[in-house]
A and B are shown apart, each in its own frame.
Chain A
Amino acid sequence: MKILPSEITSYKNYLNRRKFIKSSVATGLALGASTGLHANHLSDQNIYANQLDENDTLNSFEEITTYNNFYEFGMGKTDPSEKSDEFNPKPWSISLEGLINNPQVLDLEKLLKQVTVEDRVYRLRCVEAWSMVIPWQGFPLSELIKIADPLSSAKFIQFVTVFRPEEMPGQKRKLLPWPYVEGLRMDEAMHPLTILSTGMYGHDLLNQSGAPLRLVVPWKYGFKSIKSISSIRFVDKQPEATWSMMAPSEYGFYSNVNNLVDHPRWSQNTERRIGEFKRRETLMYNGYEDEVSYLYEGMDLRKYY
């Protein structure tokens, strides 16, 4: 499938079109420099009100930071919050590699001066059928892609999580083939909803949330949103992704949230929103259907799950 660059909605047009993604200029300014996010928005959740869907309420900072899947720190849901003290995300650099005009190792602090960090409230739907609503701070991945300046032969992007077994106890065991890798098609990566996040609730990302830099792709299952990214590779073929290597019949490369295509072992029709008792219906593309369904037009979603 070919997507012409001209077909991709520019970010600015996108913002004009989509009311839910109203970027709050005020909070954007409050974010400040360096990793940038020293303002603590926990005290005033109203900041995010204009980005919240009417059916959603924000999950608490505690919920978001004590229930995580981040096998680098262990397999239990509380392992990432309990066993990530040794991890040191500062200083940090990201290596841009592959089919690009500007391969380089970028210092994160310097990168953050070149991009616009803004608030994004997104639903996160885990493949395990639970979900949260999270107020991220981050910048569009497309801005970094522009810095990298990909060649026309670059069709996909692969992301790699840092490998530091001394600081990440889960990496000392063969829970997964390390390092964790994930990938996106170029048009998915360029999509205005796709961000690289550096903060949450106005804090720098905590280690358990993927400090200091993680991907957030809200219409895909959570495991696609790779954490603690150390390198980004531009490639011409669909790259490997950890879970779809581990169990290809269970986790596809696309892994778009799809209530109609079940995981072989459980239904994806409903989900438990953390903090709620009764299950909710899962929405197609996690409720971002209007924004992203064009990316997959004509594709058999049962085949490309």
Chain B
Amino acid sequence: MITTQSFKKIKPLIFLGIFFPSIFWSYQFINGSLGVNPIEKFMDNMGEMALRLIVLTLFISSLSEFKKFRFLIDVRRMIGLFAFFYVSCHFLTYIALDHFFDMNFIIKDIIKRPFITFGFISFVFLIPLVITSPKKMLKKLGFKVWKKIHYLIYPAAILSSVHFYMLVRANKIEPAIYIFLILVLLLYRLYFKIILPQLAR
């Protein structure tokens, strides 16, 4: 069985594995091997990676309820922070490369286009999670408050998958899978964390 101790040893590898795509895509971007519309591709890659990592953290949360998988909780924070890193890259690409800091346009775009509004709100929801991610903050806030703040990951996840869903023109199966996964994981958590304890009372 994998223990928390032995899992800690491979943590650097997981770190590199998750960090590597951003390096690779940046290299491709500079190198000109990201296709003929590299800005779009770069932005899409970063965004989809972020969504995958968000789903992964939710998956870890649910799985680590089981003793067997408890060791996983040790990488959840790292993956969550990486999700924010990729979301930030995604958003920065939109601001700097796609619209070249045309803030006037960007602000209007965020307000006017629901799919961009959703993506933006999702980004904003992740900020308090990042700020409260250090262990110090957990101690400072107390577990209950900290926990409440971190439930923000669910609306953030739903909004970002809907953001993706609305962006796709036809055959929305792939984004629909993300929405489905997120809802299943949310319902699972709701059941075990909220409904079941209430029933047991």
A residues adjacent to B (C-beta < 8 A): 62-63, 66-67, 71, 75, 77-78, 128, 130, 173-176, 246, 265-267, 272, 274-275, 277-279
Which chain A positions have C-beta within 8 A of B113?
Answer: 265-266
Report 23 cross-chain contacts, Cβ distance below 8 Å, ordered by A residue.
Answer: A62-B36, A63-B36, A66-B35, A66-B36, A67-B35, A71-B170, A75-B171, A77-B37, A78-B35, A128-B169, A130-B40, A176-B171, A246-B170, A265-B114, A265-B167, A266-B113, A267-B105, A267-B109, A272-B39, A272-B40, A277-B100, A278-B100, A279-B98
| B171: contacting residue among A66, A130, A175, A274, CB under 8 A | A175
Which chain A positions have C-beta within 8 A of B37?
Answer: 67, 77, 130, 272, 274
- Closest-by-CB residue of A relative to B109 is A267
4 nearest A-B pairs in the assembled complex, by CB-CB distance: A67-B36, A63-B36, A175-B171, A274-B36
Give the bracket for the number of chain B residues in contact with chain A.
Answer: 10 to 19
- Closest-by-CB residue of B relative to A127 is B169
A265 touches B115 (CB 8 A): yes
B residues adjacent to A (C-beta < 8 A): 35-37, 39-40, 97-100, 105, 109, 113-115, 166-167, 169-171
Report the minimum CB–CB distance from A179 to chain B (whole Å).
15
A75 touches B115 (CB 8 A): no
Complex Cα distance A62/B32, Å? 13
Which chain B positions have C-beta within 8 A of A62?
Answer: 36
Which chain B positions have C-beta within 8 A of A246?
Answer: 170
Which chain A positions have C-beta within 8 A of B105?
Answer: 267
| A75: contacting residue among B35, B98, B167, B170, CB under 8 A | B170
Which chain B positions have C-beta within 8 A of A275?
Answer: 36
Complex Cα distance A71/B105, Å? 31
Which chain A positions have C-beta within 8 A of B114?
Answer: 265
Complex Cα distance A253/B100, Å? 33
Report the minimum CB–CB distance from A76 to chain B (whole Å).
10
Which chain B positions have C-beta within 8 A of A67?
Answer: 35-37
Report the minimum CB–CB distance from B24 to chain A (whole Å).
17
- Closest-by-CB residue of B relative to A66 is B36
Report the minimum CB–CB distance from A175 to chain B (whole Å).
5
Which chain B positions have C-beta within 8 A of A174?
Answer: 171
- Extra contacts besides A66-B36, A75-B171, A173-B171 (12): CB < 8 Å: A63-B36, A66-B35, A71-B170, A78-B35, A176-B171, A246-B170, A265-B115, A265-B166, A266-B109, A267-B105, A272-B37, A275-B36
Report the minimum CB–CB distance from A230 to chain B (whole Å).
21
Complex Cα distance A71/B37, Å? 18
Which chain A positions have C-beta within 8 A of B169?
Answer: 128
Complex Cα distance A176/B169, Å? 10
A279 touches B35 (CB 8 A): no
- Closest-by-CB residue of A relative to B115 is A265
